[in-house]
């Protein structure tokens, strides 16, 4: 990464966006690593457990659209501060009052969705500071906040075993409050931001078929990443009898790979082209998830394939958002919300679907193969539209995208 990148934008804001996104993702994902313990105490079925971990994802998907509008109308920083305060209050209530039923767990998941909506704040906050030639790197670094899922997967089950899972919510408040202070201090809105859009502009964006393609592509890459991250603790526990702590370690290895590859995916897209990179990543993910769907007898083999899958999906996330600012630079706030919403819906469908299919069939095989088929469909869809993009994006965008 050359010096021109660091001189082209605002590094403190980029760091604040990453930190805010990182800790928000940690909290958004918190119910996933705790799902086995929560399900045991509340006597939940596999399908109910799947819905508990999937609810924050769906809530985050819907709220990303709301947060995208707030970031566009107020400012990314103001929207971020509002979201952080809401999440802190929700966690404080869950810690002090406790979670005693399935319905209360779902309610907490709804509030934690606001943490997932941080996506619609962090990415525009960073993106608006950087020129087109550095969008992949800037969006990749800010988006590397996905790594918050690693901390949750590693630490949450250990804390739950030592202090009880309800107290994990109290522990989470400490880094969240510190992050709120740092974000308020360091983050600055870009001096030149797109004008706030009217509500009609949001619906107009949906009238562009490229919007729907990007939403679908991201529903596979990011939806696959967060959906698998949420479902894997339960998968490893069910499939191989691993303890919640060990299943958390396995999951952490998977999400670490995916998180690491997001900024690298953006850099690869800057170097080789967003479309070429995304096509390669869909290929890797589809092949690996198909293989793990054969219910391998070895947990180590399954882990290796899931890690490779997450590497592909993580890099795909970076590649998608290397392309988005080229196509929708003036509508980046709107499109970040819409595309992020689609990614969350994809994650909800995967996490909830894995639980429902396991409950109905006694196996995760069908769920994994259905997801792999979506990766194949995305590959053919992207390959099909790239010719039209070559002629409609304009020469500058095409050169940057290397279509």
What is the tens place of the pLDDT at every residue in 187-223?
888 777 666 666 676 777 777 888 899 999 999 999 9
Higher pLDDT, 378 or 273: 378
What is the tens place of the pLDDT at every residue in 285-325?
999 999 999 989 999 999 999 999 999 999 998 888 788 87
User: Cα dist. 50→38, 304, 344 in Å?
Assistant: 11, 23, 15
In the prediction, which pLDDT does 265 show?
83
What is the tens place of the pLDDT at every residue in 106-126?
999 999 999 988 877 887 888
What is the tens place of the pLDDT at every residue in 15-40?
888 889 889 989 998 999 999 999 99
Quickly state the pLDDT bin for 398 (edges 50, 70, 90).
Answer: very low
Q: Please give the structure tokens belonging to residue 140.
A: 């990749």
In the prediction, which pLDDT does 164 show?
93
| CATH of the domain spanning 11-187+197-401 | 1.20.1250.20
């Amino acid at each position: 990464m050359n010096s021109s990148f660091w001189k082209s934008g605002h590094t403190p804001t980029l760091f604040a966006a990453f930190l805010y996104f990182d800790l928000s993702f940690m909290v958004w994902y918190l119910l996933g690593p705790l799902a086995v313990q929560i399900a045991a105490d509340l006597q939940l079925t596999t399908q109910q457990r799947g819905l508990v971990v999937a609810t924050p994802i769906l809530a985050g998907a819907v709220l990303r659209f709301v947060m995208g509008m707030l970031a566009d109308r107020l400012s990314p920083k103001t929207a971020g501060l509002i979201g952080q305060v809401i999440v802190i209050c929700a966690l404080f209530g869950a810690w002090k009052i406790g979670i005693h039923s399935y319905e209360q767990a779902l309610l907490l998941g709804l509030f934690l969705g606001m943490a997932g909506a941080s996506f619609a704040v962090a990415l525009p906050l960073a993106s608006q500071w950087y020129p087109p030639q550095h969008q992949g790197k800037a969006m990749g670094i800010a988006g590397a906040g996905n790594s918050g899922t690693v901390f949750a997967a590693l630490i949450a089950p250990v804390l739950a075993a030592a202090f009880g899972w309800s107290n994990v919510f109290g522990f989470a408040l400490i880094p969240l409050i510190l992050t709120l202070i740092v974000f308020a201090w360091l983050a600055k809105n870009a001096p030149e931001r797109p004008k706030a859009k009217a509500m009609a502009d949001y619906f107009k964006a949906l009238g562009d078929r490229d919007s729907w393609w990007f939403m679908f592509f991201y529903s596979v890459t990011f939806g696959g990443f967060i959906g698998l991250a949420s479902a894997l603790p339960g998968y490893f526990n069910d499939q191989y009898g691993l303890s919640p702590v060990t299943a958390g370690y396995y999951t952490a290895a998977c999400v670490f790979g995916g998180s690491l590859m997001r900024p690298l995916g953006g850099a690869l897209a800057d170097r080789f082209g967003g479309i070429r990179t995304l096509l390669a990543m869909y290929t890797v993910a589809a092949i690996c998830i198909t293989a793990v769907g054969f219910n391998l007898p070895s947990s180590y083999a399954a882990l290796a394939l899931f890690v490779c899958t997450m590497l592909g999906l993580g890099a795909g996330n970076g590649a998608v958002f290397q392309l988005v600012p080229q196509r929708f630079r003036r509508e980046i706030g709107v499109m970040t919300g819409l595309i992020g919403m689609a990614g969350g819906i994809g994650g909800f469908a995967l996490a909830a679907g894995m639980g429902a299919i396991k409950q109905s069939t006694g196996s995760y095989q069908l769920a994994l193969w259905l997801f792999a088929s979506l990766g194949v469909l995305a590959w053919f869809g992207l390959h099909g539209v790239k010719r039209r993009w070559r002629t409609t994006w304009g020469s500058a965008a095409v050169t940057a995208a290397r279509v």
